[in-house]
Structure 1
Amino acid sequence: MKMGIISEEKDWITCELERAMIKKDITPIYIKPSKIASFTGMDIKFKHNKENIMDLKCAFVRNLGNVSNYYRFDVLKYIEYYIPLINPTEGLENAGNKYRTSILLNINNISHPKTVITEDIDKALIWSEKLNDCVLKPLFGNQGKGIVRLNNKNLISKINILNEFKKKYGVFYIQEFINNPNNIYRDIRAFVIGDEVVSAMYRVSDNWITNIHQNGKAEKCELTDEIIELAVKAKNATGLVYGGVDLMESSDGLKVIEVNGAPSWEGLSRVSDVNITEKLIDYVLNNLI
C-alpha cells in the first residue's frame, strides 16, 4: 500500500508521518506540489516525477508552498475526485480562511469571541473603539504572524495601524481580546481526530501571542467535557478529518479562537501521552480507505 505526503518541504511532521507509515508496512510517497503535472483528455490524470498519483490509497496534505499559487490548490481538488485527501480541500479552505471559520462557528452556535470583518476603514475604526481591547488579524495566515493588538492605542495610532493593515491585507478581521481569568497568557490547543480529542496542551507565554512558533511553551492540559465538546464541534463545523482547535479561557467559559487544517503536533507530542501520528494513520486506515 502507498500513501502520499503532499508537501513542498520535509519537516518534523512529514518525517513523523513517513516513520509511522513504514512502521505499519505502508510505503510513503513524497509529492511536491510544484512537481505535479495534471492531464485532461488523456488516459493519465496526474504524474509526480515517475509516480502515478492514482496508485496512492490516500494523501496527507501538509504544505503547498506558494499559497498564492491557486493552481496548486485546484490540482488538489482534481486529485480529490479519485483519492481521499487528508484533510479534504473544502475543510482546508474553511479552516484556512478566518472569515469562513467564523461564519461556520456562528451558524453552528459554537462559542467564539465577538468578531467584526470589514473592508471599510471607518467601520474598522469605530468597532476597534467599541471593542476597545481587540486583535487585528489577517484573514489568511497562521503561527501568530501579522496580528496586532489595539489596546491602549490612541486614535492617531489606531488610524495609522489600520491604514498600514489595509494596504497589506485589504480586509480587517477584528476580534475582541479575551482576558484569561487566571491573569496569565495562555490558550489551549486541542487535537481532534474524527470525533475524538486525542490530546491537548496549554500554550503558555510571557507575551499575549502564545503560538509555539512565537516562543510559547507547551504544557500538558487535562481534557474536560467542555474542551472535548467545543473542539469536536469546531472541527466538524469546518469539515476536517483532523484539526487543531485553539480555545481561550474566559470568565464565561471557553471560546474557540481558530481551527487549523494542517496543524503541527510537534510541541504537543512532547507533553502528550499518546502517539498522535500513529493515531491519525490508524484512523485513516480504519475509516477512510
Structure 2
Amino acid sequence: MNIKILSRNSDLYSTKRLVEAAEKRKHQVEVIDHLKCDLVIEKRKPSIVYKGESLTEVDAIIPRIGASVTFYGTAVVRQFEMMGAFSTVDSEALIRSRDKLRSLQVLSKAKIGLPKTVFTNYSRDVEGVINRVGGTPLVVKLLEGTQGLGVVLAETKNAAKSVIEAFNGLKARVIVQEFIKEAKGADVRVFIVDGHVVGAMKRQGKEGEFRSNLHQGGKAEVIELSDDEEIAAIRAAKAMKLGVAGVDMLQSSRGPLILEVNSSPGLEGIEKATGKDIAKTIIRYIEKNV
C-alpha cells in the first residue's frame, strides 16, 4: 500500500515509529508536511500538489495534525478523503475533537461520565459559575489550550473569581470544571484503535503539580483498567467517531470521568509505559480497512 503520514516533523517519535511499522509490513510510506500541500478543487478530479508534484494513488493517510493548524490540516485530510484515501482519523471527527466544548456536549449526549463543567458568554455572575461546579477548588481551562497549557487550578473562591474575571476581561473563552480531589493529580490515558483498547497508562503529575501531562514533567506507568474504565474509554471514542484516539480520564469516587478525547495521541509515552507496539496496531488497522 501507499501510505502518507501527515506530519510537520519527520523526526518526532510518533512519526518515526509509524514509518518504521509501515516499512516493516512492506508498505510504501512517505512523510509529508500538510502545510505545504496545495489543494486543487474541481469537478470529479480533486487533487493535491506537494513540492510541485501531484500525489496520486494514495491508499491511506495517517494525520498527525497539530492543534495550531487544525483548519488547514483538516482541509488536507478532507481532500485526501475526496480522492478515495482511507484516513485513520476522519476529517469531521478531527474537527469535532479539537472543539473542547463541542466534545463535552457530544460526550454528555452519549451519557458518558464527565467532571461537572460550566461554560458562559463572559458571565458577570462569576460566583454563580463557581457554585455550579461545586465551589472551590476548581479548574479553569482555556478552550484552545493543549498539553496542559492554559489550565489553572484555583484553590479559593477569591482566586477563582480573579482568574475567571481576568480571562473574561481578555475575552478568552474558558470552561470551568469541578476539581476531582480523589484523583490526586493523576489521570489515565487509554489508547483506542478500531474500537479496542490497545494500551493504557496512568500519568502522575510531578510533586506540587495537579496537571499530569508528560509535557509538564509527569510520569507514566502501565495500568490495568477496570471494566467500567475500559467501557467508558471505548464509548467515548465511539461517540467522537474516532478510529484512533487517546482518551483521558480521571478516577473518581463516582466512576471514570472523561476529560478529553485526543485525535492525535502521541505514541512515545504509551509505548514506553506499556511496552506495546502501538504503531504496528495502527498500520494493521489501515490494512483491515483498505
**Could you state the TM-score of these two structures normalised by the residue count of structure 1?**
0.91
Tell me the residue number matched to 2:147.
143
- Distance in 1, matches of 2:21 and 2:170, equals 40
Identical pairs, percent: 28
- Distance in 2, matches of 1:188 and 1:142, equals 17
Query: Which residues of 2 match residues 226-241 of structure 1 at below 5 A?
Result: 226-241=228-243
Task: For residue 108 of structure 2, give the secondary structure of its aligned residue in structure 1.
Answer: helix
Shift of 1:243: 0.4
Tell me the residue number matched to 1:275.
277
Unaligned 5+ residue runs, structure 2? none
- Distance in 2, matches of 1:7 and 1:73, equals 12
Shift of 1:265: 2.1
Shift of 1:59: 0.6
Question: One-letter code of the match for 1:265?
Answer: L
- Distance in 1, matches of 2:190 and 2:223, equals 9
Aligned residues: 283
Question: One-letter code of the match for 1:101?
Answer: S
- Distance in 2, matches of 1:227 and 1:197, equals 10
Tell me the residue number matched to 2:107.
105
Query: Which residues of 2 match residues 135-214 of structure 1 at below 5 A?
Result: 135-154=139-158, 157-166=159-168, 168=170, 170-180=172-182, 184-205=184-205, 206=207, 207-214=209-216
- Distance in 2, matches of 1:159 and 1:113, equals 20
Shift of 1:73: 2.7
Distance of aligned partners of 1:51 and 1:15 in 2 relative to their CA distance in 1, 3 Å threshold: farther
- Distance in 2, matches of 1:172 and 1:64, equals 20
Say whether the 8 Å CA contact 1:37–1:46 is kept in structure 2: yes
Say whether the 8 Å CA contact 1:247–1:257 is kept in structure 2: yes
Unaligned 5+ residue runs, structure 1? none
- Distance in 2, matches of 1:166 and 1:125, equals 14
Distance of aligned partners of 1:220 and 1:230 in 2 relative to their CA distance in 1, 3 Å threshold: same
Distance of aligned partners of 1:167 and 1:46 in 2 relative to their CA distance in 1, 3 Å threshold: farther
Say whether the 8 Å CA contact 1:9–1:63 is kept in structure 2: no
Instruction: Identify the range of structure 1 (204-213 vs 165-174) with the bigger mean alpha-carbon deviation.
Output: 165-174
**Could you state the TM-score of these two structures normalised by the residue count of structure 2?**
0.90
Q: Deviations over 1:62-88 (max 9, x none)?
A: 0347427x3443232232222122211
Q: Deviations over 1:223-268 (max 9, x none)?
A: 3211210000000101101101011011111111111000012111
- Distance in 1, matches of 2:125 and 2:29, equals 50
Say whether the 8 Å CA contact 2:188–2:250 is kept in structure 1: yes
Tell me the residue number matched to 1:12.
13
Tell me the residue number matched to 2:28.
27
Task: For residue 119 of structure 2, give the secondary structure of its aligned residue in structure 1.
Answer: strand
Shift of 1:276: 0.7
Tell me the residue number matched to 1:58.
60
